């Protein structure tokens, strides 16, 4: 006759419901707000960087402005790529908090110094310093992982993921709205430092955001590295970890009972074993699997495909950000060769900010809806195909500006065709953000195609390495290609009426890149 206990076990669920750990809201918001400093500092230069290059008289040839602005934009990504691993290793030794504070201070000071630059050398120096200090991004990820667990990551990581799009909105708004304040508000800024350095105000505001992040981190950010954490915080972390491990052990035990008649270890033994694996380093754990090398991972076809597709996805996205600003800033040509849209920095900043709002809306509302109805692979391939339409649409905007707009020597006049132009800009920006769905889906594909959880972090890091490489080289490549197309002989090739097809060869280059990623 079965006992009451046996009867209870038969009726109780085999997989006990996992109790979610409450989110550390204060700590999570602190991490998000401190992280916000980097995208603001990175993006705030985009609306005015071309005018800054022209103001400093770096080159006497306006068609070469894009080449130098591309170098300045690439410098940040290059130095950040070089410092990410070093900052991560340093945080493992001295703690997360001091590395984050030092890096955020560096980003703030370098951003302020950028606005005071008087030469290309000082621009590159300040941008390089900002990129080096922004290597703390990986440390932020580590903090987020240490303050969350599997029961609350689904809420924490989306909140953290909104930081970069939000910074992509705030940064261009600051750069486009506050550049050259003496021209807009002469009664306030005439004959001041903001008149002598017309691009200092947006850099100063962005730098102050970083320095406010330093104060916030100093006051509210707790150390999460176990060896450096305070005893109370360390004890709470261990208790939370043991509670979670016990839940996982109960799940495993229930799963084993339902699928196999073989005996399973007791919950206490499983929890003890799991705690040992979690709280000790891989070197101290004799059962830990050795981490595969990068070359070993690249020999796996699916991982190699994810790396290459991540590279092309990042290349398309960065190329669009660079070329949209460059193409929008370039004056409408009164001849057959070259030319752009002739928009002022303020309009460019508003366009980029609107684009950021579109991106956030799509990520929050549209992506979950699509994932419920289609496979992630299908969404990813569709989003990559959209890049072809994006590049064709962006090139077509130049034809609209040249064929249907009355223009003066530098800027598009206020005419009816401007309405058509802005409708076209809105469509192109929306298409680009829909194509950007690939970033969110790619993380799902990496997770689904990495069957061994022991190498999930390494696989993500490898894909990020390829994406960072694309972020580093793309601005220089595409801005140089654009600059070459703005001058003879390319700007005079294949003339079709008032438009030279040769001046749009950069569009063909980008379309080829998009087709190659399919």
Contacts of 62 (CB under 8 A, 6+ apart): 54, 331
Burial of residue 389 (CB within 10 Å: 0-12, 13-18, 19+) is middle
Using only the alpha carbons of the chain, give its radius of gyration.
26
How far is the C-alpha of 238 from the C-alpha of 234, rounded, in Å?
A: 6
Check residue 405 and give its pLDDT: 52
Q: Which helix (H) or strand (E) holds 499?
A: strand 499-500
In this structure, are strands 499-500 and 495-496 parallel, antiparallel, or unpaired? antiparallel
Residue where the block lists tokens 């009867």: 7
Mean pLDDT of 371-381: 82
Residue where the block lists tokens 């438009």: 499
* 3.40.50.1860, 3.20.20.60, 2.60.120.330, 1.20.1250.20: CATH of 294-518: 1.20.1250.20
Peptide bond into 489 cis (omega under 30): yes
Domain ranges of the chain: 20-254, 294-518
Check residue 245 and give its pLDDT: 46
Asked if 113 and 167 count as a contact pair (C-beta separation under 8 A), the reply is: no
Least confident residue range of 192-206, 259-273, 444-458, 484-498: 259-273
Check residue 114 and give its pLDDT: 94
pLDDT in tens, 285-318: 444 455 556 677 777 788 788 888 888 888 888 8
Check residue 244 and give its pLDDT: 47
Mean pLDDT of 111-139: 90
* 236 pLDDT more than 90: no
Asked if 343 and 328 count as a contact pair (C-beta separation under 8 A), the reply is: yes
Mean pLDDT of 390-395: 84
Please indicate whether residue 355 or residue 272 has the higher confidence score (pLDDT). 355
pLDDT in tens, 347-366: 887 887 788 788 878 777 78
Domains 20-254 and 294-518 share a fold: yes
Residue 122 CB: number of other CB atoms within 10 A?
Answer: 14
Mean pLDDT of 372-386: 84
User: Which whole-number Å values give the CA distances from 143 to 94, 161, 229, in the listed order?
Assistant: 14, 14, 12
pLDDT in tens, 44-95: 998 888 889 989 988 888 777 878 887 887 788 788 878 877 777 787 778 8
For residue 499, which phi and psi values (nearest 5 degrees)? -120, 135
Residue where the block lists tokens 């981190």: 217
Mean pLDDT of 368-385: 82
Assigned CATH topology for domain 20-254: Growth Hormone; Chain: A; (1.20.1250)
- DSSP string for 40-60: HHHHTTTTTHHHHHHHTTS-S
Asked if 67 and 483 count as a contact pair (C-beta separation under 8 A), the reply is: yes
Residue where the block lists tokens 């940040």: 76
pLDDT in tens, 459-503: 666 777 787 788 778 877 888 777 777 666 655 555 555 555 555
Please indicate whether residue 510 or residue 466 has the higher confidence score (pLDDT). 466
Reference 313, options 375, 372, 386; nearest CA is 386
Contacts of 185 (CB under 8 A, 6+ apart): none
Burial of residue 461 (CB within 10 Å: 0-12, 13-18, 19+) is middle
Burial of residue 504 (CB within 10 Å: 0-12, 13-18, 19+) is buried
Reference 44, options 206, 166, 155; nearest CA is 206
How far is the C-alpha of 370 from the C-alpha of 13, rounded, in Å?
A: 32
Burial of residue 44 (CB within 10 Å: 0-12, 13-18, 19+) is buried
């Amino acid at each position: 006759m079965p006992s009451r206990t046996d009867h209870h076990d038969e009726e109780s669920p085999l997989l006990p419901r996992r109790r979610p750990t409450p989110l550390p809201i204060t700590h999570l918001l602190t991490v998000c707000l401190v992280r916000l400093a980097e995208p603001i500092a990175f993006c705030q230069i985009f609306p005015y960087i071309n005018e800054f290059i022209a103001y400093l008289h770096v080159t006497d040839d306006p068609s070469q402005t894009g080449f130098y602005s591309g170098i300045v934009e690439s410098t940040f990504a290059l130095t950040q790529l070089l410092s990410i691993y070093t900052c991560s290793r340093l945080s493992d030794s001295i703690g997360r908090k001091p590395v984050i504070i030092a890096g955020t201070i560096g980003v703030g000071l370098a951003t302020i110094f950028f606005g005071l630059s008087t030469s290309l050398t000082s621009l590159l120096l300040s941008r390089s310093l900002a990129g080096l200090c922004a290597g703390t991004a990986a440390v932020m990820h580590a903090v987020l992982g240490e303050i969350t667990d599997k029961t609350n990551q689904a809420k924490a990581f989306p909140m953290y993921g909104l930081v970069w799009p939000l910074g992509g909105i705030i940064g261009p708004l600051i750069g486009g709205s506050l550049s050259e304040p003496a021209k807009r508000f002469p009664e306030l800024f005439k004959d001041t430092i903001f008149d002598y350095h017309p691009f200092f105000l947006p850099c100063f505001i962005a730098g102050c955001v970083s320095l406010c992040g330093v104060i916030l981190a100093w006051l509210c950010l707790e150390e999460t590295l176990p060896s450096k954490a305070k005893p109370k915080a360390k004890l709470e972390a261990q208790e939370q970890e043991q509670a979670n491990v016990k839940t996982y052990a109960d799940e495993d035990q229930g799963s084993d009972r339902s699928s196999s008649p073989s005996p399973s270890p007791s919950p206490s033994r499983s929890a003890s074993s799991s705690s040992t694996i979690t709280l000790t380093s891989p070197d101290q754990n004799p059962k830990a699997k050795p981490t595969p090398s990068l070359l070993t991972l690249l020999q796996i076809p699916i991982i190699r495909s994810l790396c290459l597709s991540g590279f092309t996805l990042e290349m398309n996205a960065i190329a669009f950000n660079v070329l949209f600003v460059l193409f929008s800033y370039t004056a409408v040509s009164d001849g057959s060769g070259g030319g752009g849209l002739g928009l002022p920095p303020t309009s460019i900043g508003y366009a980029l900010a609107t684009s950021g709002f579109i991106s956030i809306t799509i990520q929050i509302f549209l992506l979950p809806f699509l994932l419920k109805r289609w496979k992630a692979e299908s969404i990813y391939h569709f989003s990559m195909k959209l890049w072809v339409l994006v590049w064709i649409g962006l090139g077509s905007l130049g034809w609209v500006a040249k064929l249907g707009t009355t223009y003066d020597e530098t800027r598009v006049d206020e005419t009816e065709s401007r309405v058509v132009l802005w409708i076209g800009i809105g469509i192109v920006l929306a298409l680009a953000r829909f194509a950007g769905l690939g970033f969110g889906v790619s993380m799902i594909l990496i997770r689904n195609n990495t069957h061994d959880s022991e190498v999930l972090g390494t696989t993500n890091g490898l894909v990020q390495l390829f994406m960072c490489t694309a972020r580093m080289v793309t601005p220089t490549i595409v801005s140089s290609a654009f600059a070459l197309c703005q001058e003879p002989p390319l700007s005079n090739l294949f003339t079709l009426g008032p438009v030279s097809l040769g001046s749009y060869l950069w569009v063909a280059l980008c379309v080829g890149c998009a087709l190659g990623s399919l």
